[in-house]
């Protein structure tokens, strides 16, 4: 399967703790993206990291990419209850016109007070 694999499948932490989720893929990529999906909602784009980048930050998010290991991680620091959601990595060729994204299996994050 070309689907991305994410682990853990589920993660439960307390508010203020950090959350780390990992994504592994099998194909060559030119970028990898992370999306958040709140229950019953659409996906929201969080961050994109290009294949020539190893780390990227956006607010409380830190993404790393290791193309030699075909893996990426998403770190959410100082988590909040509002971070409770499912998180998906996504990758695929961007042709300049469209991205044919393959999504990972997702990590369900629960942040409790």
Partner 1 sequence: DTAVSQTPKYLVTQMGNDKSIKCEQNLGHDTMYWYKQDSKKFLKIMFSYNNKELIINETVPNRFSPKSPDKAHLNLHINSLELGDSAVYFCASSLQAEQYFGPGTRLTVT
Closest among 38, 49, 14, 54 to 87, alpha carbons compared:
38
CA 112/CA 98 separation, integer angstroms: 38
First-to-last C-alpha distance (Å) of the chain: 38
Token reading at 64: 């790393």
Nearer to partner 1, 17 or 53 (CB): 53
Under rule CB under 8 A, residue 105 binds partner 1: yes
The DSSP output letter for 104 is B
Under rule CB under 8 A, residue 52 binds partner 1: no
Under rule CB under 8 A, residue 25 binds partner 1: no
Shortest spacing between CB 16 and partner 1, in angstroms? 27
Under rule CB under 8 A, residue 4 binds partner 1: no
The DSSP output letter for 68 is T
Binding mask 58-97 for partner 1 (x = CB under 8 A): ----------------------------x-x-----x--x
């Amino acid at each position: 399967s070309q689907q991305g694999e994410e682990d853990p499948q589920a993660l439960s932490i307390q508010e203020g703790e950090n959350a780390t989720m990992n994504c592994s893929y099998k194909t060559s990529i030119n970028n990898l993206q992370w999306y958040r999906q709140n229950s019953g909602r659409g996906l929201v784009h969080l961050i994109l990291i290009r294949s020539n980048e190893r780390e990227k930050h956006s607010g409380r998010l830190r993404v790393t990419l290791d193309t030699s290991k075909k893996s990426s991680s998403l770190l959410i620091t100082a988590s909040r209850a509002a971070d409770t959601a499912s998180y998906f990595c996504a990758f695929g060729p961007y042709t300049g016109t469209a991205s044919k994204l393959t999504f990972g299996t997702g990590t369900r994050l629960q942040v409790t007070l």
